[in-house]
Amino acid sequence: MASHVEDFSVNTIIGPNSELNGDLSTEGFTRVDGNLRGNLTVAGRVVIGEAARMRGNISGTVVTIGGVVRGNVLASERLTILSGALILGDIITRRIQADEGCLVHGRVRVCAAPEAWETAVSEYADAQGVKSALSRFSRHDTLP
């Protein structure tokens, strides 16, 4: 059986002065140093660089945030929030490290136990489904 060696090479990068509008799903190590408007789902590590600006939700294994994120963050293993980072949204993670000088405006749920993690993620998914369903109705629509 082969031993597990963690790969730290970057598989996907949104470079400085780049702008992406739309959801992005990747595997491996993903780094954002530009602007992203959309949800980011990564089966691996995520780094949101200090100059990055993001409007959308983030889901990853190990997430590090140094820039501005306006959206929710799910980190299945660990979340690190660097000094100067700003998160406007809710956080669900198993472990968290927040450096002095960061700012979080939202609810933070740290779920060390596997059952607590599964419950928190399920509740989050249910809430997102309700928001998505409600967003399909405009203010001018009337229900039958």
The confidence score (pLDDT) of residue 125 equals 85
Residue ranges of the chain with per-residue pLDDT less than 50: 1-5, 139-144
Give residue 36's pLDDT: 96
Nearest partner of 97 among 116, 114, 77, 113, judged by Cα: 77
Per-residue model confidence (pLDDT) at position 135: 62
**Backbone phi, then psi, for 141, in 5-degree steps?**
-75, 145
Structure tokens at 87: 């998160």
Report the pLDDT value the prediction gives residue 3, as an integer from 0 to 100.
Answer: 38
